[in-house]
Structure 1
Amino acid sequence: MSIDTTDNARTLIAFAQHAAAPVALEVGKYHVVRTADGFRTIDLTTPEHTGVPDRKTGTTTVRDAVSFAAYFTKHADDDTELYADADRLTVTAVLDAHTATTARWSGHRLTLQLRKTESWTQWLEHDGRLMQQEQFAEFLEDHLPELLEPSAADMLEIAQSIQGATKVEWQNSTRLSSGQRQFTYAETVQAKAGQRGQLTIPETFVIGLVPFEGSEGYKLTARFRYRITKDGGLTLGYKLERPSDIIRTAFRDVVNAIGEQIEQPIMNGTPA
């Protein structure tokens, strides 16, 4: 009688597989194990097993130069690239940028996205718009801390004079030799009908604004605007002189402040 050696071999292999002692698999490596159905690859290099991401990814957004420099110093290396975009008001660092000879992921980034202050936004929102007397006077009162020349106290007095001359008929305006503008009005309330008065305001005034959160303050000149309407009313406003130049200057100063804290050059543009 013949013996089937193939069946015996299979039996011995199966027995050996079940009899083998368990072996601990090392985290962070690939393993190939024998199963009843063949061979199986076990990958223990992935983050869910190691607890550590395979590389740094994501974009962190900060709002001022100090925060940008702090994060940059922690994560940058000699091949990190920086780009300043004056149109978008952003500074972007590609922390894992390509080297001169090796491609890298370019997936870990830091972006400074400047945010305009509320006071800057409000002054620009009303720039060139004529307002009713009381509305304009209230605007000046709400922004006294930003009024530099004339002083806040003098501008408050002007605002109060504007508020006190609401029930009048505005007749004409004259530019004085001092550069101020003088308005003449006549009272219209019954008790004072016919009485005349004058309101004098400066031709220009200077304000101090911080364009971006965390940035420096800058001076802007504003020119008074006015219109005497056909029915004897008066509307007032202002026109800021070249506020876009201030934005460009403020952005350049932020970029320079970053450049003083780091060694890598800052390029003009945006990364790929």
Structure 2
Amino acid sequence: MTTRYTSGPAADLDGIQSVIDIAQQATVPAAMEPGKVYAVRTAGGGTQTIDLTGPEHTGTPARKHGTTTVRDAASFAAYFSKHSDADTEVYADADQLTVTAVLDAHTADEPRWSGHRLRLALRRTETWQQWLENDGRLLGQEQFAEFLEDHLPDLLDPSAATMLEIAQSIQAATKVDFQSGTRLATGERQFKYVENTTAKAGQRGDLTIPETFVVGLVPFEGSEGYRLTARLRYRITDQQLRIGYKLERPGDTLRTAFADVVTAIGADIAQPVMNGSPA
């Protein structure tokens, strides 16, 4: 006959575990504080880490991040003033026509995230784009005259009133055969023509247009205006006049306008504006 028995130490261990289980069951749950990391003993005797440092627990992001895009220098200055610090870096890219601020840039001694950025992306005005769209193109008489009439506020010299008269003269001379174009001593261009309508057939006349005129254009939304000289272009083909203009170095004007925007930004902030783009 075999007699079974339990050793003393094993029986003691079973009793201790029972006490532990009862104690754990009787433990009152305690609230955990957001923003901290806890190590919790599990029922199976292991350890579980509970991380309450995330924004879903604290209610606030761990850091500022993202890129905000603005369209003028005033908006750039307003956002920059709110979020920048002494280590913020600012870069101006003349090729891209952008100004970028790395608001949380590295300090001299410690790295930072460099993930919170402000970007000024200048937007060309509709009027600037319209003048550039027709730059160097030869248009029909009516089309050219209508373009001048639609842009009278941009015309500085000769005056808008004078250019309106010229536009009307161009429109009135559509049913004629143009013979030649001559540059006058006054710097104007004179076009000679012969009427081809039945009532005026054979009658001769001329159309005089300034060889150059000055326009005032605002390149970017929120920027200053600039004067540009436009030179008259024309071609007489099959006795028909096609006419247009060529702006003098509009690219230089655009770069000057951008440089002026950068200068205005630099005057409003303590940090230097560096030439280039951030990493």
Shorter-normalised TM range = over 0.9
Q: What displacement does 1:197 show?
A: 1.2
Counterpart check, 1:207 vs 2:215: yes
| 1:27 paired residue among 23, 34, 37 | 34
Alignment of 1:68-217 (within 5 A): 68-217=76-225
User: Which is higher, the Rg of structure 1 or of structure 2?
Assistant: 2
Q: What displacement does 1:35 show?
A: 2.1
Alignment partners' CA distance in 2, 1:141 and 1:11: 98
Alignment partners' CA distance in 2, 1:122 and 1:63: 20
**3-state SS of paired residue (2:67):** strand
State the number of aligned residues.
Answer: 271
Alignment partners' CA distance in 2, 1:268 and 1:141: 41
Q: What displacement does 1:41 show?
A: 1.2
Q: What displacement does 1:172 show?
A: 1.0
Query: Which amino acid letter does the alignment assign opposite residue 173 of structure 1?
Result: G
TM-score normalised by structure 2 residue count: 0.95
Query: Which amino acid letter does the alignment assign opposite residue 265 of structure 1?
Result: P
Alignment partners' CA distance in 2, 1:22 and 1:269: 57
**3-state SS of paired residue (1:190):** coil
The match for 1:250 is: 257
1:170-196 deviation digits (Å, cap 9, x = unpaired) = 001221111111111111011110011
| 1:219 paired residue among 224, 227, 247 | 227
Counterpart check, 1:36 vs 2:14: no
TM-score normalised by structure 1 residue count: 0.98
Alignment partners' CA distance in 1, 2:19 and 2:35: 33
Q: What displacement does 1:19 show?
A: 0.2
Alignment partners' CA distance in 2, 1:189 and 1:24: 98
| 1:52 paired residue among 34, 37, 60 | 60
What percent of counterpart residues are identical? 71
Alignment partners' CA distance in 1, 2:26 and 2:118: 55
Alignment partners' CA distance in 1, 2:92 and 2:130: 26
Alignment partners' CA distance in 1, 2:273 and 2:148: 40
Alignment partners' CA distance in 2, 1:174 and 1:128: 20
1:42-70 deviation digits (Å, cap 9, x = unpaired) = 11110000111101100000000000011
Query: Which amino acid letter does the alignment assign opposite residue 251 of structure 1?
Result: F
Alignment partners' CA distance in 2, 1:175 and 1:211: 32
Alignment partners' CA distance in 2, 1:222 and 1:94: 40
The match for 1:265 is: 272
Query: Which amino acid letter does the alignment assign opposite residue 270 of structure 1?
Result: S
**3-state SS of paired residue (1:40):** strand
**3-state SS of paired residue (1:191):** coil
1:94-126 deviation digits (Å, cap 9, x = unpaired) = 111111111111111001001100111111111
**3-state SS of paired residue (1:223):** strand
**3-state SS of paired residue (1:192):** coil
Query: Which amino acid letter does the alignment assign opposite residue 43 of structure 2?
Result: A
Alignment partners' CA distance in 2, 1:152 and 1:94: 46
